[in-house]
């Protein structure tokens, strides 16, 4: 199925390539430590799985879809696509509602009606995406929510750092890792930059985790940008680095769609 939410860095266009490296098998568990909109997860529809993201509002949303789909549909169906209402609902979302269903309903609404479906917060953690211009956007897709709910039934929904994967994955399992990318720039080297809170040290940690997964006999595919940093981090690992020519939406402005290179890093033998 298609993802329930739009998400920056969504991988819909790379799904076929990624799945080609992860042979289908009901005996293996599938894990996605940076799930975001979950384009690969929803396309694969795995029977045994874990999904994780550091964004707790997002993981609450998936838990509510799994456990309370009808309540979510009821709540979100009351919301209308209208500018004034958008800003009221956005303020309510920023009050951090205690009711998980209300929180999930608001996230769904803001995702479908906010500018470009972005999820962006300011330094105080407040969601600050402006109203988006759409032609009659569909906020609640009842069939998709029910389908996703069934799909998520057997799924371990985790909300922590991606390092959880070392405790979760077992020999023979499969894993797709889609971290926030290293920015593509001429100066991208071993300097201490940070993007969206994901630092160079996190990229190093991720490399070490891939090495460990390989030792544990877990098949992994990771996507990242084709930069000097990534090349130097992986040069001694023996992993397969597959270059891809793609364009990636890196910001809300069409003019800044980076047309460049991405890589898939994998230990898959396929
Ligand atoms: C490129 S997006 C994933 C997009 C996803 N593949 C899709 O199809 O929509 C990266 C995700 O990593 C999450 N993230 C950032 N730092 C993380 C961390 N330390 N541990 C787990 N997730 C993290 C972000 O919240 C974001 O949703």
Q: Which structural domains are found in the chain, ordered by start? A: 12-54+160-266 (3.40.50.150), 66-142 (1.10.1020.10)
Q: Is the pLDDT of residue 191 over 50?
A: no
For all residues of the chain together, what is the average pLDDT? 90
Ligand 1 contact, 117 CB (< 6 A): no
**Neighbour count for residue 206 (Cβ, 10 Å):** 22
Ligand 1 contact, 180 CB (< 6 A): yes
d(CA 178, CA 162): 10
Output the pLDDT for position 185: 62
Q: Which of 180, 248, 251, 264 to mutate to test the pocket of ligand 1 (most atoms within 8 A of CB)?
A: 180
Output the pLDDT for position 117: 92
> 8 CA to middle of ligand 1, Å?
9
Residue with tokens 């479908």: 112
Ligand 1 contact, 11 CB (< 6 A): yes
At 76, phi and psi to the nearest 5? -70, -25
In sequence order, which ranges of 189-252 are alpha helices (DSSP H)? 200-215, 228-234
pTM: 0.91
pLDDT digits (tens, 9 = 90+) for 19-54: 999 987 778 899 999 999 999 999 999 999 999 999
The angle formed by the CA atoms of residues 127, 14 and 22, to the nearest 5 degrees, is 115
Ligand 1 contact, 95 CB (< 6 A): no
């Amino acid at each position: 199925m298609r993802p329930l939410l739009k998400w920056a860095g969504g991988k819909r266009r790379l799904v076929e390539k990624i799945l080609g490296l992860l042979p289908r098998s009901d005996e293996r568990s599938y894990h996605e430590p940076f799930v975001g909109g979950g384009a690969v997860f929803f396309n694969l529809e795995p029977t045994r799985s874990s999904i994780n993201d550091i964004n707790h509002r997002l993981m609450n949303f998936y838990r509510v879809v799994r456990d309370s789909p009808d309540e979510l549909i009821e709540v979100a169906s009351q919301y209308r696509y209208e500018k004034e209402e958008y800003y009221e609902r956005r303020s309510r979302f920023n009050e951090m509602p205690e009711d998980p269903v209300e929180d999930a309903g608001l996230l769904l609404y803001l995702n479908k009606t906010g500018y470009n479906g972005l999820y962006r917060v300011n330094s105080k953690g407040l969601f600050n995406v402006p109203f988006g211009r759409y032609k009659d956007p569909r906020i609640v897709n009842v069939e998709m929510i029910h389908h996703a709910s069934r799909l998520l039934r057997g799924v371990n929904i985790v909300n922590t750092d991606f390092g959880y994967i070392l405790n979760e994955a077992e020999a023979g399992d499969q894993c797709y890792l889609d971290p926030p990318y290293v920015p593509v720039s001429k100066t991208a080297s071993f300097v201490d930059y940070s993007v969206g809170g994901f630092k160079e040290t996190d990229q190093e940690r991720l490399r070490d985790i891939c090495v460990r997964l390989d030792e544990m006999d877990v098949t992994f595919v990771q996507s990242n940008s084709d930069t000097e940093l990534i090349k130097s981090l992986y040069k001694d690992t023996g992993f397969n680095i597959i270059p891809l020519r793609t364009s990636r939406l890196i910001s809300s402005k069409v003019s800044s769609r980076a047309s460049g290179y991405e890589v898939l890093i994998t230990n898959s033998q396929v």
